[in-house]
Amino acid sequence: MLARHHHPIAAIATAPGRGAVGIVRISGKGIAPVIAAICGRALAPRQATYLPFRDAQGQVIDQGLAIYFPAPHSSTGEEVLELQAHGGPVVLQVLLARCLEAGAALNPATGRPWLPQLRLAQPGEFTERAFLNDKIDLAQAEAIADLIDASTETAARSAARSMSGEFSRVVDTLLEQLIQLRMLVEATLDFPEEEIDFLQKADAQGQLLRLQATLDSVMQRATQGAILREGIKVVIAGQPNAGKSSLLNALAGAELAIVTPIAGTTRDKVSQLIQIEGVPLHMVDTAGLREGLDEVEKIGVARAWAEIESADAVLFLHDLTRQDAAGKTQDAMHYMAVDAHIAKVLTDKLPKNTAVIDVWNKSDSVGPDTLRKVRDGVLISAKTGAGLPALRQQLLQVVGWQAVPEGVFMARERHVRALHEVQAELAKAALQLHAFQPALDLLAEDLRQAQLQLSQITGAFTPDDLLGEIFSRFCIGK
C-alpha cells in the first residue's frame, strides 16, 4: 500500500451542479477532531444526526445530516464521515473547505495540526480504498463505475449483479477448480514413476474437461456483458438520398437528422444512442458516399469513411426506387455501379470481423418485380417502419448478442481478454494430458499461468499500474 493511502481524504461525493441534497465525505484514520469541529459533538456510530455544520467562528454553514461509520464497518474499511447538506455547489464547496480547514487546525495539547495530511481525494480513491481494505474485489469495484455509467436498464441490472459479487463468485469457483487440478499435478512431480496412473486415478482429464466447460459458460456471459458495457457502434452508409437519415430517425424514434430530397443534405455525422432489447447501440448517420461537389461535402465523405472503418457493424443502405426492374435506364445502371464500387471498398477496407448488412430501403415505393430481385439483406421502409423489427434482430445477431438463460453480468474488455488467455493455457494443458508421456513440468506451468490470468480479474494478482489506470477513470468522491 502506498504512503498516500494512509492519508485521510475528503471530497464532494455527489455530482456537480444544483440538487436537493449534496454529500461531502471524509475517509481515514483519526477523524474525530474534524467531526467535533464541524458538528460540535461526537456522533453515535451509524446513526443519522440532524445538526448544524459550523465554520471556524461557530457560524452555521448549513444544517443537515451527519453520519459516522467507525472502521472497519464502513464502505472503505476506514473511519468515514458523511455530511448530507443542501445540494448547492457553493454550500458544498464551503463545507468541503471547512473539513480541510478543521484537519489543519492546531491541537492545543501538541501545537500541531489535528490531521496534517487530510487532503482532497483523487478520482476513484474511496472505491480504491474499499478494494485495498478487502471490502470489495477489483471486479466489484469496476462494476460500481459501470453501474454509474450504464446507458440502459439491462446494463444497469448486469452491473448490479457484478457489484453484488456474482461475477466474482463465478471466477472464484473457477479458481478453486483450477487450484485443485494444479495441486494434483504438482503432487505427481514428487512421484515420477507413478505419475501417469496417479493422474488417471484422480481423473485429471475429467477435471480439466469440466473446468473448460465451466470456463466456456463464463466466457459467454462475460462476452455478452462486455457488449452491454461498451455498446455497439453502428454506422449507416450509402449513396446520397438512400434514406440514411430517415433510417436513423426511424430507429431512434425521433427527428434527429434533417431529411430532404436534396442530395448531400447530411454533411457531417449525426450520432445517437439507442437500445435494442437493452443493448446500447451508438448509431452514426454519415454523409452520402459520392464524389464531392464542393470542399465541404468532400470533408463529409472523408469523415464518413473514417466512421465506417471504426464501426462494429455497417448498415449499407440501398435505394430500391433507383434499381430499375429491367436494369436498362442510365440512372439505374450508374447507381448500381456505384453501389458495387462501395461494396468492394467496404470489403477491402474493413476488418473481417466487421459485419456489413445490406439494407434495401423504400420497399413501400416499388413493385413486386423489384422486391423479388433482392436476394440478400433486409427489406425495409424507413418511412412506414416495415422491416425494422427484422433489421433490429439482424443487428443483434451479427454483433454476437444472445441472451443467456442464467443472466448476464457486466464485464470489461480486460476480463474477456483474461478469460481468453485462460482458455489458451487450458488448451495447452489438455494437449499435455493427452500426450503419451505428459511433460508434467510444462503441464504445471500451463495451469500456473491460467491461474495467474484468472486471478487478475478479481485483483488477487494485479500490477499497481493497472490499478492506477482503473481507478483514475472514476469520478472524484467515488
Say which residue the cell 440478400 belongs to: 376
Q: How many CA atoms lie within 13 A of 475 on its CB side?
A: 13
402 confidence band (pLDDT: 50, 70, 90) = confident
Do residues 51 and 39 touch, judged by C-beta distance below 8 A? yes
Q: What is the pLDDT of residue 191?
A: 60
Kindly provide the residue ranges of all beta strands, DSSP E only, lying in 264-411, ordered along the sequence. 270-276, 279-285, 313-319, 355-361, 378-379
Give the residue, 184 or 88, on which the prediction is more confident: 88
Q: Is 105 helix (H, G, I), strand (E, B) or coil?
A: coil
Say which residue the cell 436498362 belongs to: 328
Instruction: Choose the most confident range, by mean pLDDT, from 62-66, 259-263, 328-332, 382-386.
Output: 62-66
Q: Is the pLDDT of residue 262 over 60?
A: no
Q: What is the pLDDT of residue 265?
A: 46
pLDDT, one tens digit per residue, over 30-62 is: 999 999 999 999 999 999 999 999 999 999 999
Give the residue, 70 or 304, on which the prediction is more confident: 70
234 confidence band (pLDDT: 50, 70, 90) = very high
Kindly provide the residue ranges of all beta strands, DSSP E only, lying in 213-334, ordered along the sequence. 232-238, 270-276, 279-285, 313-319
Average pLDDT of 444-464? 84
Among 51, 45, 111, 113, CA closest to 81: 45
Task: Return the C-alpha cell found at 83.
Answer: 455530511
DSSP for 233-266, please give it.
EEEEEESTTSSHHHHHHHHHTS--S---SSTT--
Say which residue the cell 467515488 belongs to: 478
Average pLDDT of 58-72? 96
Q: What is the pLDDT of residue 183?
A: 82
Return d(Cα 91, Cα 186) in angstroms, integer. Answer: 62
Q: Is the pLDDT of residue 462 over 70?
A: no
Helices (H) and strands (E) in the chain, counts: 16, 12
Q: What is the pLDDT of residue 465?
A: 59
Do residues 32 and 117 touch, judged by C-beta distance below 8 A? no
Instruction: Assign 3-class secondary structure to 397-448.
Output: HHCCCCCCCCCCCCCCHHHHHHHHHHHHHHHHHHHHHHCCCCCHHHHHHHHH
Give the residue, 54 or 254, on which the prediction is more confident: 54
Q: What is the pLDDT of residue 272?
A: 86
259 confidence band (pLDDT: 50, 70, 90) = very low
